[in-house]
Amino acid sequence: MAKPASSSSKTEQNPSYDFDAIIIGTGPGGEGGAMNLAKKDKRVAIIERYSKVGGGCTHWGTIPSKALRQSVSRLIEYNSNPLFNAGADAKHLTFQDILSHASAVIRKQVDLRSGFYNRNRVEHYLGEASFVDAHTIRILRHDGSVDKITAKQIVIATGSRPYRPAEIDFNHPRIYDSDSILELSHAPRHVIIYGAGVIGSEYASIFRGLGVKVDLVNTRDRLLSFLDDEMSDSLSYHLWNNGVVIRHGEQIESVDASDDHVIVHLESGKKMKADCLLWANGRTGNTADLELAAAGLKADGRGQLKVNDCYQTEVENIYAVGDVIGYPSLASAAFDQGRICAGAMLNNESKAKLITDIPTGIYTIPEISSVGKTEQQLTEAKIPYEVGRAQFKHLARAQISNNLVGSLKILFHRETKEILGIHCFGENAAEIIHIGQAIMQQKNGGNTIEYFVETTFNYPTMAEAFRVAALNGLNRLF
C-alpha cells in the first residue's frame, strides 16, 4: 500500500508539496488527467474510494451495462435466426446468467487500468478523500486510519451517482437504482423502470430482451428528447413493438414495497405492480463527502462544480472534469476533458478544447448514435438542408448478418453540401457513426456529402450505408 511521501522525496519542482498533482477519482476523467501528467514526468497521486480502479464507468455504468447489452443482443440474434434454433426451443437466460460475462469484462478492465498507473509510477491511495485546504487532501482508509497528502494542483474527477429521493426506500430488496441493479439476486418476471433517459431506455431493452415484462415510465412527453425526432420515434416504436409498455408524462407519487412485489402509484392516479422497481431518474455529482468548503469551493444543487474552458474551478489550483461538472456526462468526453485539463495544468496557455460535435452512443437494442445537428435544430435556425437516407434492410451486409432493423440519415446543406448532422439507428450504430464524424471534422471544404459518392467502400459492409444515403440525398437536389 502506498504511503505518504516523506519530506526527502518531495518534488524538486515543488519542494513544499508531496506531489505535483493529486487526482481524486480513477474513472475516465481521472485516468486521462493522471496519464497525461505522469507522461510529462510529473509526480502524480490518485485516490480511489472503491477497492479497485476504474470508477463508476468501469464498475457500475458504461462497461457493465454495455456488456449486459451485448449478451442480450446475441441471445436475441440466436433465437431469431432459424439457422441456429431450427426445431429447438428458444434459449432463455436470466439477468444473473449474463452478469457473469459483465463481471469478466470488468476484471479485464481493472487489470488493464491498474497496469497503466503502475507502469507510469502513479501513486495509488485507497480511501475516502476530503479537503483540508486547497492543497491538502485527507484520506480516510478502509481500516479507519488517516493519511494526509499535499499537491500543488488537484483534480476532482469523482464522477456521479444515481439520484436517490428520500421518500424512496432503496434499502428494500425489491427497489434498485442503476448501480445496485447489478446486485439483483432474483429473476424478475416483471420490472418497472422509472425514468426513460439513456440508462432507463438501455435497461428496458436489456430486460425485455431477456423476456421480462417491462413498464417504462417517462417523466417527459417523448423518449430521449435530445435526439433527432425520427431516432426517438424509431426507438419508441421498436420498444413498443417488442412489448415494452411506455407511459409518457408521468410522475411517481409513492411506492409500496412488500416481500414479493412493488406497487408504484403515479400522480395521474394510475397504479402498477411488478416484481421490482428500477429507479433511473437523474444523477448527482459525487461531491457531498469532499468537504469542498475547506478548499473554498461550493457545488450546486446537483452536486456539480462550475469550471472555465480549461476545467479550472473558482480556486486557481483546483480543477474538475467528468460527470462532476455536468454536460456532456459521457465517458468518452470525460477522458478527453482529463487530458485537456492536464495540458492546461502544465501550460496555462494551452488552447486545447473538446470538439464541437461530440458523438453520442446509446446502447439500446438496437443502438442509436448521432453527431451534429438534428432536423429540429436546423429547421429552427432556418438553415436550408436536405436529407439522405439509407435503410439497413436494403444493405447486403445487413441481410447477411440478419440485422435488418435500422437506418442512417445524413443532413447536409443544400447549397454547400456540407454535412450538418448524422443520425443512425440500428446494430453497430455507435461504430458506423464514426465514419461520418471523420468527414465532418475535415477542414477547408473537405466536409461535403459528395465524399461518400466519390469514395469506394468495401462491399458488403455497413459503411456502404453512407454511399446509399449520400446518393439518396443528392438525388433530392434540384
pLDDT tens digit sequence for 221-233: 999 999 999 999 9
Please give the Cα distance from 472 to 452 (Å, whole number).
11
The pLDDT, as a whole number, for residue 92 is 84
Element (H, E) at 370: strand 368-372
Identify any residues that bridge with 23 across adjacent strands, giving them in sequence order: 46, 155
Residue spans in the chain of domains classed CATH 3.50.50.60: 7-59+99-161+284-346, 175-281
Topology of the domain comprising 366-474: Enolase-like; domain 1 (3.30.390)
Question: Residue 80: which pLDDT band, with cuts at 50, 70 and 90?
Answer: confident
* Cell numbers representing residue 418 in the block: 456540407
The CATH code of domain 175-281 reads 3.50.50.60
Q: What percent of the chain has pLDDT over 70?
A: 96
What is the rounded average pLDDT for all residues in the chain?
A: 94
Look at residue 393 in the predicted model and tell me its pLDDT: 97
HSE toward the beta carbon, residue 103, CA cutoff 13 A: 8
- Express each pLDDT in 242-285 by its tens digit: 999 999 999 999 999 999 999 999 999 999 999 999 999 999 99
Q: How confident is the model at residue 348, as a pLDDT? A: 80
Instruction: Lay out the sheet containing 175-177: strands in order across.
Output: 175-177, 276-279, 190-194, 213-217, 245-247
Q: Could you tell me which residue, 161 or 348, shows the higher pLDDT?
A: 161
Q: 3-state secondary structure string, 30-73?
A: HHHHHHHHHCCCCCEEEEECCCCCCHHHHHCCHHHHHHHHHHHH
Confidence of residue 86 (pLDDT cuts 50, 70, 90): low
Q: CATH 3.30.390.30 occupies which residues in the chain?
A: 366-474
Angle between helices 62-80 and 198-209 (to 10 degrees): 40
pLDDT in tens, 120-161: 999 999 999 999 999 999 999 999 999 999 999 999 999 999
| Number of helices (H), then strands (E), in the chain | 13, 22
Q: What percent of the chain has pLDDT over 90?
A: 88
- Report the pLDDT averaged over residues 115-123: 96
CA 128 to each of CA 47, 48, 142, 288, 438: distance values in angstroms, whole numbers, following the listed order:
8, 7, 8, 11, 41
The residues that bridge with 136 in the sheet, in sequence order, are: 133, 150
Average pLDDT score over residue span 40-63: 96
* Residues of each annotated binding site for FAD: 48-57
How does residue 5 score in pLDDT terms, banded at 50, 70 and 90? very low
Class of domain 7-59+99-161+284-346: alpha beta
Instruction: Report the relative pairing of strands 276-279 and 146-156 from DSSP bridges.
Output: unpaired
Annotated binding-site members: 48-57
